[in-house]
């Protein structure tokens, strides 16, 4: 069984080093790949110094393009499972074994680390919380099952989902759309409870202005993916 | 009539600008065609009074220059749509290229390190 821990990072010099060390402590011997989305700070050097492998992008692609680059490399190198942990330190690496166990046990394509299953460790503002409630309601009929934390980036995928995501992955705000991309293929996902930590350094990419653009972009992306639904063709 | 003259001048300036840009290789020939066709259509419509009146009747607009204005707006929207497709395709190619380049660089670096350690042994 080949497992890769994937850390997308953009200007995360303050958090990525400790995160890589934590991951290596929790998962000794498992390769850690930091995909640097052309950071302007010392993210690359800090990540490498902490012992991670580095996939440096020559220019800024945004979160989706950055994660997909990691998925593509993992797929080409023959990995069976990839678990994504965000570079800002919000995802607690102690939950990685739990996500991996669920991936293997549930025989599903994706496992989401959900901060709302136990109701513990919620570190989101009221606007984000409102957005999550809205997207939960919207995704329920599309996915045919409830999803508690559709915006979580703490996800594990197996090789089947890796093959799909290395070909087709949303560019911006990918988490919600990725669920619909999975649904297009009738792939399955499960959620496992996780506790998320407050962001250590840096700022969220979803600023006040972008929080207006975010739902429009995601809604359109979801709508387009629903139109592409392939399940019935089988 | 003044609006029609402005449209004529605009069409001529547009075509001149596009041709000059093509000559200086600021715009590739294949991407100049849409603008030149749009400019030509605008020029013809602004000068051919009979066609313009026929079109305004067909559109149910009493004012011929206003009809021309609407048609030219539609033409430019179509050109913008075409370029949105071109930009989207280029963006996708660019992303794929950047990811491929990063992956190759990663594999090359690893290969280099492996061969260095082999040589050291």
pLDDT at residue A173, as a whole number: 82
Q: How far is CA A89 from the centre of its chain?
A: 13
The alpha-carbon gap from B101 to the nearest alpha carbon of chain A, in Å, equals: 8
Q: What is the pLDDT of residue A233?
A: 46
End-to-end CA gap in chain B: 86
CB contact under 8 A, B98 and A76: no
Does the beta carbon of A59 lie under 8 angstroms from any beta carbon of chain B? yes
- Helices then strands, each counted (H, E), chain A: 8, 7
Torsion of CA B91, B93, B96, B101, to 10 degrees: -110
Measure in Å the smallest separation between the Cα of B90 and chain A Cα atoms: 14
Q: Please, are residues A51 and A29 in contact by the beta-carbon 8 Å criterion?
A: no
User: Tens digit of pLDDT for each residue in A112-156?
Assistant: 999 888 755 555 677 777 888 888 998 999 888 899 999 899 999
Contact B98 A72 (CB under 8 A): no
What is residue A123's predicted lDDT score, i.e. its pLDDT? 58
CATH at residue A128 = 3.90.550.10
CB distance A59–B98 less than 8 Å?
A: yes
Per CB-CB distance under 8 Å, the chain A contacts of B98 are: 57-59, 61, 65, 69
Window 64-93 of A, Cβ < 8 Å to B: 65, 68-69, 72-73, 76
DSSP 8-state code for residue A94? G
Q: How many domains does chain A have?
A: 1
Question: Which residues in chain B are closer than 8 Å to A69, comparing Cβ atoms?
Answer: 98-99, 102-103
Q: Burial of A218 by CB count in 10 Å (0-12 exposed, 13-18 middle, 19+ buried)?
A: buried
Tell me: the pLDDT tens digits for A90-114? Answer: 999 999 999 999 999 988 999 999 9
Containing domain of residue A115, as a range? 3-233
């Amino acid at each position: 069984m080949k497992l890769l821990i994937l850390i997308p990072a953009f200007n995360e010099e303050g958090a990525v080093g400790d995160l890589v060390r934590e991951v290596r402590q929790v998962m000794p011997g498992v390769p850690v790949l930091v995909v640097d989305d052309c950071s302007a700070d010392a993210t690359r050097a800090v990540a490498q110094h902490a012992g991670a492998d580095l996939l440096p992008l020559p220019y800024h692609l945004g979160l989706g393009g950055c994660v997909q680059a990691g998925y593509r490399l993992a797929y080409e190198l023959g990995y069976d499972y990839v678990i994504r942990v965000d570079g800002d330190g919000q995802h607690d690496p102690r939950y990685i074994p739990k996500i991996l166990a669920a991936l293997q046990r549930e025989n599903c394509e994706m496992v989401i680390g959900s901060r709302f299953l136990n109701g513990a460790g919620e570190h989101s503002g009221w606007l984000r919380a409102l957005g999550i409630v809205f997207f939960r309601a919207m995704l329920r009929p599309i996915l045919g099952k409830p999803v508690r934390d559709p915006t979580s980036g703490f996800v594990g995928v197996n090789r089947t989902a890796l093959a799909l995501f290395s070909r087709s992955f949303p560019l911006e705000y990918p988490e919600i759309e990725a669920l619909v991309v999975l649904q297009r293929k009738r792939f399955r996902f499960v959620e496992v409870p996780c506790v998320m930590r407050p962001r250590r350094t840096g700022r969220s990419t979803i600023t006040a202005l972008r929080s207006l653009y975010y739902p429009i972009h995601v809604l359109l992306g979801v709508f387009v993916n629903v139109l592409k639904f392939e399940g019935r063709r089988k | 009539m003044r609006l029609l003259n402005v449209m004529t001048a605009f069409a001529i300036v547009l075509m001149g600008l596009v041709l000059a840009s093509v000559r200086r290789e600021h715009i590739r020939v294949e991407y100049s065609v849409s603008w030149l066709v749009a400019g030509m259509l605008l020029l013809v419509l602004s000068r051919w009074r009979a066609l313009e009146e026929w079109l305004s009747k067909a559109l149910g607009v009493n004012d011929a220059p206003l009809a021309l204005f609407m048609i030219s707006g539609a033409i430019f929207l179509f050109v913008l749509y075409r370029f949105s497709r071109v930009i989207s395709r280029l963006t996708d190619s660019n992303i794929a290229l950047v990811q491929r380049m990063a992956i190759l660089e990663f594999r090359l670096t690893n290969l280099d390190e492996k061969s260095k350690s082999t040589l050291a042994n």
